[in-house]
């Protein structure tokens, strides 16, 4: 059984792999069988920027789950967080691959956002499992809303990017539902508001950087 120090080392390794290693997906990439559209340079730039935001969001999700796993008081909750983190790793792979195809780049701010999200996750986990799971549920709901807005902003012909976002949207909804089933508490309105403001900062900055 891992002690607290072993767990800390494991989560530190997770952070390094999230930020520096090439992510892999067990599932086939959602856009694998979809032909590339004839996009203009402006459309590629727009799609690339949106996918960069989504990639950073997945980096934050990894950090959040890692921080929560470190301080979680329940083995069942930790297992649920680990499973969600595994699927978020696949999202990282899909986003990174599509970003490369579009000739764009991942955000330069990812290390900063990882550190901030890890800290928030550790605090949420320490407060208690029901609040930690409530944080997961609300995060996934807000991510889902962002993904919906991105679908509206994408070029209509870019079906490859659209398919990736749609699958991510489905997975995020599943994570929110699973958190609720595991006993997630309803977060207070001020906490939800603060989370939205932090999310706006992340999306607006990573869109350009």
The annotated binding site for Fe cation is made up of 58, 88, 91, 140, 172, 175
Long-range CB pairs of 48-51 (<8 Å, 24+ gap) are 48/99, 48/102, 48/103, 48/104, 48/105, 49/104, 49/207, 49/208, 50/150, 50/153, 50/154, 50/161, 50/207, 51/95, 51/98, 51/99, 51/102, 51/104, 51/161, 51/164
d(C-alpha 153, C-alpha 177), whole Å: 26
Q: How many CB atoms lie within 10 A of CB 105?
A: 13
Q: Residues annotated in the binding site, as ranges? A: 58, 88, 91, 140, 172, 175
């Amino acid at each position: 059984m891992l002690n607290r120090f072993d767990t800390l080392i494991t989560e530190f390794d997770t952070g390094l792999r999230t930020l520096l290693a090439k992510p892999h997906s067990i599932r086939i990439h959602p856009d694998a069988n979809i032909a590339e559209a004839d996009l203009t340079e402006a459309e590629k730039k727009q799609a690339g920027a949106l996918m960069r935001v989504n990639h950073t969001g997945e980096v934050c999700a990894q950090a959040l789950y890692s921080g929560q796993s470190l301080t979680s008081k329940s083995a069942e909750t930790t297992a649920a967080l680990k499973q969600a983190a595994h699927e978020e790793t696949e999202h990282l792979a899909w986003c990174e691959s599509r970003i490369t195809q579009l000739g764009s780049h991942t955000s330069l701010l990812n290390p900063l956002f990882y550190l901030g999200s890890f800290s928030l996750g550790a605090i949420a986990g320490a407060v208690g499992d029901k609040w930690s799971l409530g944080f997961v549920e609300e995060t996934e709901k807000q991510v889902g809303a962002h993904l919906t807005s991105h679908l509206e902003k994408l070029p209509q012909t870019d079906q490859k990017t659209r398919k990736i976002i749609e699958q991510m949207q489905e997975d995020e909804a599943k994570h929110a539902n699973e958190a609720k089933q595991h006993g997630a508490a309803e977060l207070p309105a001020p906490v939800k508001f603060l989370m939205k403001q932090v999310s706006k900062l992340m999306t607006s900055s990573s869109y350009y950087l």
